[in-house]
Amino acid sequence: MIAAIFIALLIPYLILYLYRNAYKRPDNFPPGPPSLPIYGAFWIVLAHGFSDLSTAFRKLGEKYKTKMIGCFMGPVPTIVVNDPALIKEVLNREEFDGRMDIILFRLRSFWKKLGIFFTDGYFWHVQRRFSLRYLRDYGFGRRDDTLEAVMSQEIKEMLDMRLSGPKYPGEMEIVKGDLVYMPFFFSIPFINGVVQVFSRSTLPRSEYHALWTLAKGTLIFQRNSNDMGGALSLTPWLKDVLPNYSGYNNLVKGNQVLLDFFTKIVNEVQESHDETYDRHFLDMYLTKMKQEMREKGRSTYSVDQLILTCTDYTFPAASAVQFVLAMLVERLLLQPEIQDKIHEEIDRVVGRDRLPNLDDRRNMPYLEACIRETMRYDTTVPLSVPHRAMKDTTLGGYDVGEGTMVSAHLVMLHMDKEIWGDPENFRPERFLTNGELDLSLDKSLPFGAGRRLCAGETYARQSMFQVFAAFMQTFKVSTADGKPMTKPSPRIQGIITTIPEFWVKLNLRD
């Protein structure tokens, strides 16, 4: 009897407690969904878009009639910004340059806070400044004749896999007769190009299988991650209880491929490193590390940090850019007239007797517009990499406390009707004025903005042009089964947007 009375009194108390906790919010916090036990509003976010958080936050913005959604992801106060003007403000304000310290970022960096993408504060400033300053000398941030020549050679090898057929292990998984496997057919030039930037050398064609292993490992990692950290970051103990179901094992497996690849390269460089002569960026970094240790007895530079720096700058090249081109290939299958226009432009500007080069880029505005439209239409990083407020501040009239996670919803910028008019249509001409590329018309931010701007933007834009121009100069694409494609494939959301891998037929042009 006493137990029954106790339970009868306890239940209303628990209901009241949960209700108050669900709607408890900081003063002047943006409107948004209530918090539920354990995961906070994450339950409600998943209910609005289980496999696509971008869609979920768009729906929540419409539901709460707000440009900024405020909620708690677990215990973490979180703001998702849907308004284009406020998105640009977040990306350009220094107080939002912080990064979240979550398990997803720690497990990829020897359980330390290392690298460039996911660090902040003084350490980030020092490492970012050094890497950007000296990587530019090797083509990562500006045009470099040596890198361009290397890219041309890698592109020739890529084309030859289809023209002459597979030669080495791994190639038969990518090329079968006139069929090639997307996006991995594009992998080699992008990854070997970055390796060239770091080490002034590339892997020979006989070792391309190692680069495909790297690309596949990167894909495993990013598809098992999540824009906002996900359940694993909100409840890290899942890695011990449900390592497979939580995605932890796949994250570790995919990331280890990248770490092993660059650990091997860095170890080999260390064995032959001579401080009196810097052969490449890796040498320059090791020299700086040793000098600081002698002068100060400590250093922000370390071998582990060098490995993570290489990993961070390679990650987009091993995943994002090749999927951009794969999605553009898919678009050619959906809208064949685009392929015809690209072919006409290439034949008119370059012809068939030489590969396109970066000098041709200014004279091929339509192809450039197609690449830009692909990155607008399918936003590479839909919710951007989450930012963290470094101090108490305000945004859009609301208070933002220090430590708040702030996410710039780039899809809302790229699909805003007031900016684009018809954003739901894939229309490269939106970037052209009188047939010429008009950069004033490109309001997209596929690489972010501000000090968190993707450092590889210049490399990515140049290399995507080189690779795709040569690809389209040589081939006409069609579906593997010869049937017209009537609808796009589903989008897969991880850190970046991808599509399912697919086979495509490459016909030699007449």
> Over the stretch 128-174, which tens digit does the pLDDT of each residue have?
999 999 998 888 888 889 999 999 999 999 999 999 999 998 999 99
Give the count of beta carbons closer than 10 Å to the beta carbon of residue 271.
Answer: 7
Are β-strands 497-498 and 492-493 bridged in parallel, bridged antiparallel, or unpaired? antiparallel
User: Residues marked as binding for heme?
Assistant: 454
Output the pLDDT for position 142: 85
Share of the chain above pLDDT 70, in %: 95
Query: Domain for residue 50, yes or no?
Result: no
Are β-strands 497-498 and 502-508 bridged in parallel, bridged antiparallel, or unpaired? unpaired
**What burial letters (b/e) apply to 381-392, b meaning 16+ CB within 10 Å?**
bbbbbbbbbbee
Peptide bond preceding 183 in cis form (omega within 30 of 0): yes
Alpha-helical segments (H) within 273-379: 281-296, 303-318, 320-334, 336-349, 365-377
Query: Domain for residue 6, yes or no?
Result: no
Q: Measured between alpha carbons, how far is 189 from 500 in angstroms, rounded to an integer?
A: 21
Statement: residue 113 has pLDDT above 70: yes
Structure-derived torsion over alpha carbons of residues 206, 211, 216, 221, reported in degrees to the nearest 10: 150
Query: Domain for residue 159, yes or no?
Result: yes
Model confidence over 180-226: pLDDT tens digits? 999 999 999 999 999 999 999 999 999 999 999 999 999 999 888 86
Query: Domain for residue 47, yes or no?
Result: no
Model confidence over 359-371: pLDDT tens digits? 999 999 999 999 9
Which residue segment(s) compose the domain that 264 sits in? 75-508
Query: Domain for residue 492, yes or no?
Result: yes
55-104-381 Cα angle (round to 5):
35
User: Residues marked as binding?
Assistant: 454
Calculate mean pLDDT across residues 394-413: 97
The CATH number for 212's domain is 1.10.630.10
Identify whether the C-beta of residue 449 lies closer than 8 Å to the C-beta of residue 436: no
Q: Measured between alpha carbons, how far is 73 from 117 in angstroms, rounded to an integer?
A: 21
Q: Which two tokens stand for residue 60?
A: 């929540």
Query: Domain for residue 70, yes or no?
Result: no
Are β-strands 405-408 and 76-81 bridged in parallel, bridged antiparallel, or unpaired? parallel
What global pTM score does this model have?
0.94
Q: What is the mean pLDDT of the chain?
A: 92
Query: Domain for residue 298, yes or no?
Result: yes
What's the structural domain count of the chain?
A: 1
Confidence band (pLDDT; 50, 70, 90) for 19? very low
Among residues 418, 429, 296, 329, the alpha carbon closest in space to that of 372 is found at 429
Model confidence over 45-101: pLDDT tens digits? 999 988 889 999 999 999 999 999 999 998 999 999 999 999 999 999 999 999 999
Statement: residue 229 has pLDDT above 60: no
Query: Domain for residue 63, yes or no?
Result: no
Token pair 């057919």 is found at: 185
CA neighbours within 13 Å on the CB side: how many for 399? Answer: 8
The alpha carbon dihedral of 344, 349, 350, 352 has a sign of: positive
Output the pLDDT for position 495: 86
Output the pLDDT for position 51: 83
The gap from C-alpha 304 to its chain's centroid, in whole angstroms, comes to: 22
Calculate mean pLDDT across residues 415-423: 97
Output the pLDDT for position 499: 96
Output the pLDDT for position 8: 54
**What burial letters (b/e) apply to 2-20, b meaning 16+ CB within 10 Å?**
eeeeeeeeeeeeeeeeeee
Model confidence over 425-483: pLDDT tens digits? 999 999 999 999 999 999 999 999 999 998 889 999 999 999 999 999 999 999 999 99
Output the pLDDT for position 317: 87
Among residues 155, 223, 150, the alpha carbon closest in space to that of 186 is found at 155
